[in-house]
């Protein structure tokens, strides 16, 4: 498969810079605790604490595209709090300057009923509230300056949904008519929340990702691709079925950065690669055991990492569509039981894959090149969710 080159920069994750400047690299890990409402930040290079932030419950963590902020979603507590990561880049065209300051919990919160998915697109951050169906729209610059006064839209009723900003429009999920009926599809609304065009069927829509300017959404019977139009026209929605792949569906998606492609789950024992705009869109890769988590490497464009329940980490070459390396990194973590049970999660930080090991109280660091565990970082409590922010910048 000849993957298309993308125009997406990767400022928050190891961008490339001109060679006539000395380069400084700095990464921070933000780790949500499974047992209590706590986020612990640690420096990647030496494991030193970069701050501890007390919350009301175990958070779901979403970093912004810039890496300046991390959104800590506490759905059952009805709030979203935001951390200033202390990692910032200033673009100078041929290079970017890196500034590292203390991480801090920003004052205030974004209140809701049951806030859930946080999705960023076109410079806008959208927070979908499952309890009301309301969408909150914010700019990161406003969040950093303390202006937590989002634009509120009501495109539909309460449901476990999502909203993806695309320029002057937003793609939002559509609930079923009955209260117990799952999501039925997607629609495009303008910035006032008014529907544009028809609903695109996408049964049980769940999960989204962006690659270049294209969004993909998981459905029970395939994926929906949202492609931006020229000028002021709304994005075009297209349903692509996965029925010929056998039993399974896509409900979690990751989008490539330097290459335009998507990686999604497909049932418990497989993943699928697909590239918009190509005839042979889907390639299914079977896994040796059930999947625990997976991540894409924004700096090493053809690398994806998949952790399976036997404790093995696998390197998936997204161009060849094959697993090329595997290494044992944790004891087995069975996928039986509740989906919220403490299991490892992955984040990519430059030349390392960071893997939480909740039962051991560790973050394990596997080298991208060596594909072996190189060291561990002890973390208090039960380390669970994890995001990495940082990259390289010029020093003067």
Task: State residue 182's pLDDT score.
Answer: 81
Q: Taking 90 as the threshold, does the pLDDT of residue 195 lie above it?
A: yes
Which among 360, 306, 389 has a CA at the least distance from the CA of 43? 389
Q: Is the alpha carbon torsion for 327, 331, 336, 338 positive or negative?
A: negative
Confidence band (pLDDT; 50, 70, 90) for 185?
very high
CB-CB contact of 169 with 235 (8 Å): yes
- Distance, C-alpha 366 to centroid of its chain: 20
Q: What is the mean pLDDT of residues 355-379?
A: 98
Q: What gap in Å lies between CA 64 and CA 350, rounded to an integer? A: 17
Task: State residue 91's pLDDT score.
Answer: 74
The pLDDT tens digits of the residues spanning 197-229 come to 999 999 999 999 999 999 999 999 999 999 999
CB-CB contact of 118 with 73 (8 Å): yes
The pLDDT tens digits of the residues spanning 63-95 come to 999 999 999 999 999 999 999 999 999 876 666
Q: Taking 90 as the threshold, does the pLDDT of residue 396 lie above it?
A: no
- Distance, C-alpha 74 to centroid of its chain: 16
**Residues counted in the chain:** 396
Residue 279: count other Cβ atoms within 10 Å of its Cβ. 4
Find tokens 């039925």 and name the residue.
184
CB-CB contact of 317 with 263 (8 Å): no
Lowest mean pLDDT among 14-18, 138-142, 299-303, 358-362: 14-18
Structure tokens at 389: 């922010």
The pLDDT tens digits of the residues spanning 20-35 come to 345 689 999 999 999 9
319 Cβ contact partners less than 8 Å away, ≥ 6 residues apart: 1, 3, 259, 302
CB-CB contact of 140 with 153 (8 Å): no
Largest CA-CA distance found in the chain, in angstroms, rounded: 62
Confidence band (pLDDT; 50, 70, 90) for 8?
very low
């Amino acid at each position: 498969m000849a993957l298309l080159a993308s125009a997406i920069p990767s400022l928050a994750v190891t961008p490339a810079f001109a060679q006539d400047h000395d380069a400084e690299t700095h990464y921070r890990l933000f780790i949500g605790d499974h047992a209590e409402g706590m986020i612990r930040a640690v420096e990647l290079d030496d494991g030193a604490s970069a701050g501890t932030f007390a919350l009301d419950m175990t958070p779901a963590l979403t970093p912004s595209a810039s890496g300046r902020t991390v959104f800590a979603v506490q759905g059952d507590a009805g709030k979203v709090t935001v951390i200033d990561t202390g990692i910032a880049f200033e673009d100078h065209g041929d290079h970017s300057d890196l500034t590292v300051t203390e991480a801090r919990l920003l004052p205030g919160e974004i209140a809701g009923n049951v806030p859930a998915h946080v999705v960023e697109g076109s410079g806008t951050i959208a927070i979908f509230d499952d309890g009301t169906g309301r969408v909150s729209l914010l700019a990161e610059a406003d969040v950093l300056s303390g202006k937590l006064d989002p634009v509120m839209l009501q495109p539909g009723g309460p449901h476990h949904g999502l909203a993806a900003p695309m320029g002057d429009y937003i793609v939002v999920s559509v609930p079923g008519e009955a209260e117990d009926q799952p999501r039925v599809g997607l629609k495009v609304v303008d910035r006032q929340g008014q529907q544009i065009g028809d609903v695109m069927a996408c049964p049980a829509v769940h999960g989204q990702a962006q690659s270049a300017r294209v969004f993909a959404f998981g459905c029970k019977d395939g994926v929906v691709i949202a492609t931006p139009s020229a000028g002021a026209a709304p994005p075009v929605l297209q349903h692509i079925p996965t029925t010929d792949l056998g039993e399974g569906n896509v409900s979690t998606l990751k989008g490539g950065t330097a290459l335009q492609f998507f990686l999604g789950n497909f049932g418990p024992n497989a993943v699928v690669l697909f590239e918009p705009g190509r005839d042979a869109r889907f390639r299914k890769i079977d896994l040796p055991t059930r999947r625990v988590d997976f991540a894409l490497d924004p700096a090493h464009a053809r690398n994806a990492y998949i952790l399976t329940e036997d404790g093995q980490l696998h390197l998936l070459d997204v161009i060849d569509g094959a697993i090329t390396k595997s290494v044992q990194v944790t004891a087995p973590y069975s996928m039986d039981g509740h989906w919220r049970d403490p299991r490892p999660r992955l984040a990519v930080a430059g030349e390392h894959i960071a893997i939480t090991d909740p039962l051991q109280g560790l973050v394990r660091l596997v080298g991208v090149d060596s594909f072996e565990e190189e060291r561990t970082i002890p973390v208090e409590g039960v380390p669970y969710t994890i995001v990495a922010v940082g990259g390289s910048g010029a020093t003067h």
